[in-house]
Every structure is written in C-alpha cells, then in structure tokens.
C-alpha cells in the first residue's frame, strides 16, 4: 500500500464523492419542498415522502450488486453509466408536470447514485495508507455529511425565491463535471469477465426491499389495509431469507454473507442502520415541525438543520484523525453521548421548543453523528479480511439506504396517522412527540449495538475463523493448532492417529477443537472430511496441509534412489505429495465458492535443495512447492492465497527427533557445518511463519516458499 495518495486517486475519490454529495443534497433539499409539493400536486404526507423513500429504495436495490459490478466491469465505465442515469433523472424532474413523473425521475437518480456511492469507500479502503485510513473514511463521511449542511437551506431558498425545479437544475452541471473527472481519474482494475450475474438473487433482494419499504410506508393504513401491509412484510421477509440462503449455496453470489460471521462488523452495521433511521427521521421531522407548528418559512425550515449539519460534516474527518491516533472506541462513545443528550433534550423540553432550541439540540446531535458514522464504518471494515471488504461496503451501504427509507417512512407514517381527524397544527405537534420517542428508542439500540461491537468484536484476526490442519495432533501441526486455538479459531485436525492420541491432543489444543479421522492419501476421506467441516461451520477460512511421513511413519527416509524400495517410495509420495494434492483440490473447491481463503503447505528445505539419501522425500517436497505455485496461479483471482513453508531441521518434531536419535553426531554437524545460524529451528518459529501466511498481514503474498532454515538454502 502506498504511503500517500496521488492526485489522481484524490480526484477519483472527489468524483465519487460528488455523486454522494449530490444524492444527499437533493434528498435533504426536497424534504423542505414537501409542504409546497403537497399543495401543488394535491397529495398527502404519506405520498410525498416517496420523493425520499423511492430514491432510497432504488439505491438500496442497486448497491447490493456493487460488489459484483466491481468484479465484472471497469470502474470508469460504471461511473459513466451512473452519471448518465443520474443526469436523465434530473432532466425528467426538471420538466415533470405530474407527481408521477417527478417520482420516476427520483427513481432513476437513485439507480445512478446506487452504482456510484460504494465506489468512493472502495477506493478509500483499497488505496489509503493504513495510518490515514480513519482520516480518509472521515473525509468520505464529510462529503455525505456536508450535503445536509447545505441541502435544507439550498432547498428552502430555491423553493421560496425561485421554484423547486431549480434544485435539480443546479445539480445537473455538477454531475456532468463529476462524470468527466471520474472517467479520466478512475484506475483500471482486474476484472472477471466470466463471472455470471445471478438474476434470481437480484430479484429476491429487490423484492425484499420493495416489499419492506411498502410495508413501512403504509403502516398508517394498517387498519384499513391489514392484508396488504402484512402481505408486504411477509413477502419481504421471505424474499430476504431466500436471498440469504441462496448466497450461501451458489458460486457467484452477489454478496458474500460470510461477512456476518464477524461479530464486530455485524454489530457496527446494526448501529449504523438505527443511526441512519434516526438521522433521516430528524431530517423529515424538524423542517415539517418548524413550518407547521412554529410557523416559520421554508427558508427558516432549511436553516434549522444548517448549523448542525455543518458541525457534523466538520467533525467527520476530525473523528477520523482521533481514530488514527486513539482508536475507534473513544470518538464513538463521545458521539453517542452527544446524540443521546440531544434527543433527551428534544423530549424533555418538547412543550417549550422554540426555533432557537431546535437549532441548538440538532447541533449537539449532529456533532455526535460526525464522530460516530465514519469511525463506525472504519471499525466495521477492520473486522473483515481485505478480500471481503467490498462485500462489507456494499452490504453496509445497502442497509444504510434501507434503514434510511424505513426511518423516513415510519416518521411520515406517524405524522400522517396522528394528523388524521384533526387540524394540521395539532396533528403535527402531537405526531412530533411520538416521532421523538421513536428516535430515542433508536438511539438506545445504537448504544447497545456499539457496546456489543466493542465487547464481542475481534480480539485477534483469527477470532471465529475455521482452520483445517492435517497432521494436526503431533509436532508442528499440533503446535500450530494450539496457537490458532489460542487466537480464537475453530480448529479441525485431520489425522490417522489412534483415538486416545487424538483425544489427548484435542484436550491440549482446546477451544472446542475436534478431529476427523482422515487418510490424506485417499480422495474419498479428504472429500468427506472437508464436507463435514463445511457442514458444521458453513465455510473454510484457512488450511495447513502439514501431514508428512517417513518410511516407517516416524523416521526421515534416508535412502538413495538405488536403495529405496517401491513400497517406501509409494508410502512417502502418497502422503507427502499426493496428500497435499488431494487436500488442495477439495479445500480450493470450497474456497472458490466462498471467494476467499488462505492455504499453507508444508514443503521442506529438502524440496528446494536436494541432498543425497532423500530419494523419495526430496522429490515429494519439491512437488509440494510446484503444487503451491500452480494453486496460487490458478486461484489468485478467486481471492485465495496459497503459500508453502520450507523448514530446515526442526526441534520438536517426531521426524527430526527420531532421526537424530539414530545418529547422535548429526545435530552437532548440522549446527557447525550446515546451518549458518548455528542452531536448529524450533517448532514455534515454524508456527509463527504459518500464522503470518494465514493472516491478513500477508494479504498480498501468494505462491511463495518461505524458508525457516537458519540460512541453509543460501549456504
């Protein structure tokens, strides 16, 4: 990763950011126009809110496929398509003479923003230096947070002094400019032209979002249309369930659901969802309350959000700087305190709310939001491996749009329901109180979610990962299993050891590890063992193909080509070479379905540097190196890394121990004349290499052979 961002990268982020900015700008600006649109088109509150909800819905449908689009198409081409759609939507709204056409234009805009929005965060995650990641994510949040600072005031001025159509007229040239910048500055990336689009998954997620939004939008009609509302919720839940199950069982999934196996990511995402519901709820409630209850103008209604939106935007990058220096927890906790206090004040002083107090309380709330949103997204992504971050970003952005639509719908529903049967002033005043109670409930959910995110989040990078280790009940294999287990992984040992040996080893490994009797030289054994692991855990994160054997199972095979028997050759080659091949085959098949995984094979210094007497062992280990390179080449595009370790003589292994026992002078000879560092490797030194190669710290390392031999390979 580069130490600094280039100007081209910064411009690419800017171009994508302008799309996000304009999308939120129009969303918050049009909220101000709701009373005007209601009068002009003779529509209700529940209908006019579809100006926001419909746009968010289209974004929510398009964003889930952003991870697929990223893998399948060049970024700059996608960006041009997004710009074209956004521009067409703006033109439709500029000339719309009916509310239906106005909604169609907003839907088209939502499709364009839905394609472009994830690009900004993907660029930041992929190209920002680690030391600046918090700041850059904060800047991304600044872009989207700056829009609410301008949007309401902008919308109020356009509505009061010109016409609401100028909201769309003014944005059009910005989108055209952003499209040109993006086209020339977006970098090219490796694409998979052969990846198929799963239409059924797309239909399922689209149906789920439409149904859920329709259900929430019509909650105020539940008494009159009970069947319709309940039907929407049932269809939405079933569609979402089908989508989720399908992603787990198809090769080319739209979104890799495995991201939710990471608890820190899951709870942070939940917090973001309820926070988005709260923020969008405030964005609809306050301008409406100010105009109808406090009798202020449309411009004043826009200004009520301005100071808060400005401070929220400013504190987004400041919060990112704090994260880079102190971690995510401190700025997030401070932000939660601000948001809670502000919402409490709205409720406590509700009967005496003034225009000025609304500005003050929303200012405090938005200060908290500036500290929370970007840092929560950064912290959420930190719980995912690099190869899953695009899926995590797509999921996070999707759920933000869905929850934003739900928040807007519920707020509008509460207001519309209470307004029925009474005058607009009294209905809006009472409805605002119920909305604030709803928003306070959301804030408490956010606090609980953040608590569990930090409490149950990643203690280390192997937390809850599924690791298979062949030969995992002795020597290097067992020590590696113990270390993986200590770091929170679910360890499965493949072994041919006797039951009592296995039980004792599993007791030492701990953390609910278990073993599967598996002869790695038999294809059916390996196939069934991998299937059993996947059946139990649903995935396979890491594999360590370590099983090795000598002529009698315990000694190194010291025999020349002319001395070795066919039986010994077959025995050694079957386990040390064929066993690695079979394990690789079925591990890779599973990891290809997932789109991620890390594999480490045990080769040997003897596979790199031939020595007399290693007639079977040396060629078998050389073949392991070749297999490693082949597997790495064939599977890099799937997000799978395959590497090999090449230990020299290692203390703590049965092969070395038993071999040295037959020749007491060999150890001294190795130290004095063969190993430059004058010592044998320890088991822990080998294990450390395996752990590193299996970790995200080696995220760009594949096809390598790592020597743990004290310099033997260069002597």
Burial class (CB in 10 A: 0-12, 13-18, 19+), 302: buried
Confidence of residue 458 (pLDDT cuts 50, 70, 90): very low
| Residue 327 φ/ψ region, left for φ over 0, alpha for ψ in the -120 to 50 degree band, beta for the rest | left
DSSP assignment letter at 3: S
What backbone phi and psi angles, to 5 degrees, belong to 253?
-75, 145
Residue 532: CB partners within 8 Å, gap ≥ 6?
Answer: 516
Q: How confident is the model over 143-159, as a mean pLDDT?
A: 76
Confidence of residue 386 (pLDDT cuts 50, 70, 90): low
Residue 51: CB partners within 8 Å, gap ≥ 6?
Answer: 30, 33, 34, 37, 102, 103, 106
Quote the pLDDT of residue 483: 85
Q: Specify the higher pLDDT residue, 630 or 458.
A: 630
Residue 247 token pair: 């992603």
Tens-place pLDDT, residues 403-431:
877 887 788 888 887 877 788 888 888 88
User: In the predicted model, is pLDDT for residue 190 greater than 60?
Assistant: no
Question: With helix as H, strand as E and coil as C, how does 522-585 read?
Answer: CHHHHHHHHHHHHHHHCCCCEEEECCCCCCCCCCCCCECCCCCCHHHHHHHHHHHHHHHHHHHH
Residue 397 token pair: 């952005």
Q: For residues 66 and 255, what is the distance between their CA atoms, to the nearest angstrom?
A: 9
- For 113, 175, 644, the CA distances from 80, given in Å and listed in that order, are 11, 10, 43
Q: Is 617 a catalytic residue?
A: yes
pTM: 0.61
Tens-place pLDDT, residues 575-625:
889 999 999 999 999 998 888 899 999 998 878 877 776 778 888 889 999
From the candidates 68, 362, 515, 617, give the one annotated as an active-site residue: 617
Confidence of residue 392 (pLDDT cuts 50, 70, 90): confident
Mean pLDDT, the chain, integer: 82
Nearest to 158 by CA among 343, 20, 28, 345: 28
Q: For residues 531 and 529, what is the distance between their CA atoms, to the nearest angstrom?
A: 5
Element containing residue 597 per DSSP (H, E): strand 597-602
Does residue 272 contact residue 398 with C-beta atoms inside 8 Å?
Answer: no
Q: Note the helical H segments in 349-420.
A: 355-382, 389-419
Q: For residues 472 and 484, what is the distance between their CA atoms, to the nearest angstrom?
A: 11
Q: For residues 666 and 360, what is the distance between their CA atoms, to the nearest angstrom?
A: 80
């Amino acid at each position: 990763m580069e130490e600094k961002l280039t100007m081209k990268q910064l411009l690419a982020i800017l171009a994508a950011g302008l799309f996000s900015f304009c999308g939120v700008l129009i969303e918050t600006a049009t909220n101000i126009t709701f009373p005007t649109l209601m009068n002009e088109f003779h529509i209700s509150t529940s209908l006019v809110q579809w100006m926001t909800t419909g746009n968010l819905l289209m974004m929510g449908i398009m964003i889930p496929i952003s991870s697929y689009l990223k893998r399948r198409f060049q970024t700059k081409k996608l960006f041009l398509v997004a710009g074209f759609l956004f521009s067409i939507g703006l033109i439709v709204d500029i000339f719309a003479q009916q509310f239906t056409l106005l909604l169609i234009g907003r839907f088209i805009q939502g499709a364009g923003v839905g394609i472009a929005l994830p690009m900004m965060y993907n660029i930041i995650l992929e190209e920002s230096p680690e030391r600046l990641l918090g700041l850059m994510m904060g800047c991304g949040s600044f872009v989207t947070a700056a829009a609410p600072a301008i949007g309401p005031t902008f919308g109020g001025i356009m509505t009061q002094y010109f016409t609401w159509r100028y909201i769309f007229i003014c944005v059009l040239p910005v989108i055209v400019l952003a499209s040109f910048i993006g086209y020339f500055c977006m970098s090219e990336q490796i694409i998979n032209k052969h990846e198929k689009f799963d239409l059924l998954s797309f239909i399922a997620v689209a149906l789920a979002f439409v149904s859920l939004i329709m259900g929430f939008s019509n909650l105020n009609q539940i008494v009159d249309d009970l069947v319709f509302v309940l039907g929407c919720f049932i269809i939405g839940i079933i569609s979402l369930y089908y989508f989720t199950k399908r992603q787990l069982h198809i090769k080319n999934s739209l979104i890799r659901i495995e991201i939710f196996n990471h608890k820190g990511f899951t709870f942070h995402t939940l917090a973001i969802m309820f926070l988005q519901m709260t923020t969008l709820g405030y964005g609809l409630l306050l301008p409406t309350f100010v105009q109808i209850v406090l009798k202020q103008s449309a411009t004043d209604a826009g200004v009520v959000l301005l100071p808060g939106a400005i401070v929220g935007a400013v504190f987004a990058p400041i919060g990112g700087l704090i994260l880079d220096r102190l971690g995510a927890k401190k700025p997030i906790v401070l932000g939660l305190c601000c948001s809670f206090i502000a919402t409490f004040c709205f409720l406590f002083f509700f009967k005496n709310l003034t225009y000025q107090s609304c500005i003050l309380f929303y200012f405090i709330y938005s200060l908290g939001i500036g500290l929370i949103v970007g840092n929560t997204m950064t912290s959420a992504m930190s719980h995912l491996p690099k190869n899953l971050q695009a899926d995590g970003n797509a999921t996070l952005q999707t759920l933000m749009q869905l929850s934003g639509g739900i928040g807007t719908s519920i707020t509008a529903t509460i207001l519309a329901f209470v307004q029925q049967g009474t005058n607009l002033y009294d209905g809006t005043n009472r409805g605002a109180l119920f909305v604030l109670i709803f928003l306070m409930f959301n804030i408490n959910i956010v606090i609980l979610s953040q608590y569990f995110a930090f409490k149950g989040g990643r203690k280390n990078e192997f937390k809850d990962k599924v690791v298979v280790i062949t030969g995992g009940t002795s020597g290097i294999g067992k020590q590696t299993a113990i270390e993986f287990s200590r770091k929170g992984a679910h360890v499965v040992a493949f072994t041919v050891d006797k039951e009592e040996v296995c039980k004792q080893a599993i007791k030492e490994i701990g953390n609910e590890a278990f073993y599967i009797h598996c002869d790695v030289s038999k294809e059916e054994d390996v196939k069934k063992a991998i299937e059993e692991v996947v059946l139990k855990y649903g995935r396979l994160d890491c594999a360590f193909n370590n099983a090795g054997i000598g002529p009698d199972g315990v000694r190194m095979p010291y025999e020349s080509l002319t001395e070795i028997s066919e039986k010994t050759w077959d025995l050694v080659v079957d386990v040390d070479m064929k066993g690695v091949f079979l394990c690789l085959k079925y591990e890779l098949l599973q990891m290809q379905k997932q789109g991620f995984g890390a594999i480490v094979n045990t080769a040997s210094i003897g596979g790199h540097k031939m020595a007399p007497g290693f007639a079977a062992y040396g060629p078998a280990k050389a073949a392991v190196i070749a297999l490693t390179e082949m597997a790495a080449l064939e599977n890099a595009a799937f997000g799978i890394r395959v590497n090999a370790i090449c230990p020299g003589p290692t203390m703590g292994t049965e092969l070395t121990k038993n071999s040295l026992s037959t020749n007491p002078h060999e150890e001294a000879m190795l130290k004095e004349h063969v190993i430059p560092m004058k010592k044998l490797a320890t088991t822990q030194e080998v294990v450390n290499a395996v752990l590193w190669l299996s970790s995200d710290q080696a995220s760009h390392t594949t096809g390598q052979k790592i020597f743990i031999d004290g310099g033997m390979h260069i002597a």
